[in-house]
């Protein structure tokens, strides 16, 4: 098999009667590939002709003239992958190439979870400035529209959509106190959600294990969700619990969708934090049955997941909830008070004694810290770090969080592979990396991220399609393309079809694989040979071209669809 190449040539056409040269009919032709169109239909051999940012035709284009031609024999031509759960809000401002995502075949990312990039006002502003400063960025926006404009000015290789975070608007209005919002405060939060929806947010999101998200009642979330519903949006949630409280947490998300009258998307659907050496109860099967029961009742509820048996979030989640009340400054005050610190240590030790997966010193991998003396611990388990420090594991966690001013990351091995695979094959689950667009060099190569940031989509295609045959290629592509597109209202993307936007992932099905590991995460995936975003080549023979053709896909309230 010859290696696919891009052919660039000048088309010479006879003068027309007007004496002018006729332009070539296509800007790009992808010739000889196996088209997996995203619908779930079997692959077929077809050429793809592109004009501008749009797929013009599928068929036999052997004799067609074009400015660029990709000879794609032996490659799969699929719609660009849609990442349903991304945290690239700020990293794309640092490096718009999005290397860790485009080398997976991703062309569109959905941003926002516990927080979104905006709105930013009130008590939230100083917290946001701290996070941005660690990336060398300055907070120079307040509204979501201003953030979108900033992103468009800097340029990016991927398209993005964004939700508005319920926790973010609560931080703007209420701050970080653990108390019910007043009627006046709820009204102001609804105004912020409405403005974000007018700016182009695709829905409301929540991260209900995080402060101050967790302080919101179900009724408060329903009130905010109703505003999003009025603009054709949906509700996206990191639910309150994925452990023993999984069914209760799912029921809350479903009820929010039912009462507010909008679709629900459950983030990183999983059963986690089970007791070691015991069968999880409730099970992932019971959780899926609950969702399917709601679907049968007419509630539009779906979910996404990443293909790994470990999660990632801040190390601070293993510090008791009451310690976080009041925000970062209060957290640090409590950690630095010797009497309170001892109480915190006792409660963490008690948690460890319960032998819960992802909540023991042996199942927590330290990920990232800005505190230089602790950076050698990145990539080590808490049990190892405690031995190095000469302290007990609870004190090690407190020390790591305190010295990092609360800004840490950790990886938690608390998911069973068989449960992840069960969720993966469900027909209504799509794929979300829950990762940032980063790069294996420069400022974005700091820390020890979860390998899902680099490998989620190729891992499915290489490990679970080619090697283990858990999914067919066509079904896996559907989960990455048309299925998420339908959730997001992207009627012009998600399929290889004439008239759709030319977002295409062209990959070698025999070699595509994730290379990032938990031990060595900063490794780009391989196998995606070409990536086309809005008709422009972003990857050529696996290398970034420097092109930044990505767009902000603003949700249009009048139609319920994002703008092109």
Residue-wise pLDDT tens digits, 55-72 = 999 999 999 999 999 999
pLDDT at 15 over 80: no
pLDDT score at 13: 36
**Average confidence (pLDDT) over 207-222:** 96
Q: Is residue 3 predicted with pLDDT exceeding 50?
A: no
Q: Say what the pLDDT of residue 21 is.
A: 59
- pLDDT score for 453: 98
71-114 pLDDT, tens digit each: 999 999 999 999 999 999 999 999 999 999 999 999 999 999 87
Model pLDDT, residue 113: 85
pLDDT confidence of 560, banded at 50, 70, 90? low
pTM: 0.93
Residue 18 has pLDDT above 50, yes or no: no
List the one residue out of 75, 31, 73 whose CA is nearest residue 49: 31
Beta partners for residue 33, in sequence order? 46
Q: Which of 121-135, 373-387, 516-530 has the lowest mean pLDDT?
A: 121-135
Q: Are 176 and 327 in contact (CB under 8 A)?
A: yes
483-514 residue pLDDT tens? 999 999 999 999 999 999 999 999 999 999 99
pLDDT band at 556 (very low <50, low <70, confident <90, very high): confident
- Indicate whether 1 pLDDT > 60: no
Residues 23, 6: Cα–Cα separation, whole Å: 20
Angle at 531 between CA 468 and CA 564, to 5 degrees: 115
**Tokens coding 313:** 């979030």
Half-sphere exposure of 78 (CA within 13 A, CB side): 35
Share of the chain above pLDDT 70, in %: 95
pLDDT of residue 468: 98
Average pLDDT, the chain: 94
Residue 393 Cα to chain centre, angstroms? 31
The residue extents of the domains of the chain are 315-412
Helix (H, G, I), strand (E, B) or coil at 473: helix
pLDDT score at 24: 76
Supply the pLDDT for residue 2.
42
The 10s digit of each residue's pLDDT in 186-204 is 999 999 999 999 999 999 9
Tell the residue number behind the tokens 């290696």, with chain if given: 3
Task: Say what the pLDDT of residue 442 is.
Answer: 94
Residue 291 has pLDDT above 80, yes or no: yes
DSSP conformation letters of 529-557: EEEEETTEEEEETTEE----B--B--EET
Residue pLDDT, tens place only, 423-480: 999 999 999 999 999 999 999 999 999 999 999 999 999 999 999 999 999 999 999 9
Beta strands in 134-232 (DSSP E): 159-162, 164-165, 203-207
């Amino acid at each position: 098999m010859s290696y696919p190449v891009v052919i660039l040539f000048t088309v010479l056409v006879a003068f027309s009667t007007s004496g002018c040269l006729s332009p070539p009919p296509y800007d790009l032709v992808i010739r000889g590939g196996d088209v997996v169109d995203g619908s779930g239909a079997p692959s077929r051999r077809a050429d793809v002709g592109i004009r501008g940012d749009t797929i013009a035709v599928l068929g036999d284009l052997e004799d067609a003239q074009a400015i660029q031609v990709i000879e794609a024999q032996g490659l799969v031509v699929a719609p660009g992958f849609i990442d349903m759960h991304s945290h690239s809000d700020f990293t794309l401002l640092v490096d718009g190439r999005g290397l860790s995502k485009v080398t997976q075949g991703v062309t569109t990312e959905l941003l926002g979870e516990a927080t979104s990039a905006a709105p930013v006002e009130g008590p939230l502003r100083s917290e946001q400035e701290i996070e941005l400063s660690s990336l060398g960025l300055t907070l120079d926006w307040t509204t979501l529209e201003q953030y979108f404009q900033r992103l468009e000015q800097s340029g990016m290789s991927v398209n993005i959509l964004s939700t508005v975070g319920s926790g973010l608007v609560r931080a703007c209005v209420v701050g970080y106190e653990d108390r019910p919002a007043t009627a006046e405060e709820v009204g102001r939060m609804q105004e912020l959600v409405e403005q974000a929806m007018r700016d182009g947010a695709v829905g409301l999101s929540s991260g209900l294990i995080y402060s101050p998200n967790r302080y919101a009642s179900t009724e408060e979330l329903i009130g905010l969700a109703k505003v999003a519903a009025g603009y054709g949006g949906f509700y996206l949630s990191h639910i309150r619990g994925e452990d023993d409280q999984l069914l209760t947490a799912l029921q809350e998300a479903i009820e929010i969708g039912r009462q507010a009258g909008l679709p629900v998307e459950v983030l990183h659907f999983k059963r986690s934090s089970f007791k070691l050496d015991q069968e999880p109860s409730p099970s992932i099967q019971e959780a899926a049955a609950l969702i399917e029961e709601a679907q049968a009742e007419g509630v539009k509820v779906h979910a996404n997941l990443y293909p790994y048996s470990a999660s990632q979030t801040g190390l601070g989640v293993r510090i008791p909830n009451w310690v976080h009340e009041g925000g970062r400054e209060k957290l640090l005050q409590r950690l630095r008070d010797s009497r309170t610190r001892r109480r915190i240590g006792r409660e963490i030790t008690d948690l460890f004694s319960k032998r819960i997966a992802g909540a023991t010193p042996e199942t927590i991998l330290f990920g990232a810290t800005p505190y230089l003396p602790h950076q050698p611990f990145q990539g080590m388990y808490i049990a190892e770090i405690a031995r190095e420090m000469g302290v007990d594991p609870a004190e090690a966690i407190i020390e790591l969080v305190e010295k990092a001013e609360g800004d840490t990351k950790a990886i938690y091995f608390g998911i069973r592979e068989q449960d992840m695979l069960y969720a993966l094959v469900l027909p209504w689950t799509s794929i979300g990396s829950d990762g940032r667009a980063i790069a294996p060099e420069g400022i974005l190569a700091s820390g020890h991220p979860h390998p899902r940031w680099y490998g989620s989509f190729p891992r499915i295609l290489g490990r679970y399609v080619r090697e283990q045959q858990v999914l067919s290629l066509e079904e896996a592509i559907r989960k990455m393309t048309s299925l998420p597109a339908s959730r997001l209202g992207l009627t012009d993307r998600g399929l290889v079809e004439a008239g759709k936007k030319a977002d295409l992932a062209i990959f070698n099905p025999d070699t595509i694989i994730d290379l990032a590991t938990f031990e060595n995460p900063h490794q780009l995936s391989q196998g995606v040979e070409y990536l086309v975003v809005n008709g422009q080549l972003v990857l050529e023979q696996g290398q970034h071209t420097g092109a930044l053709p990505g767009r902000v896909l603003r949700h249009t309230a009048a139609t319920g669809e994002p703008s092109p």
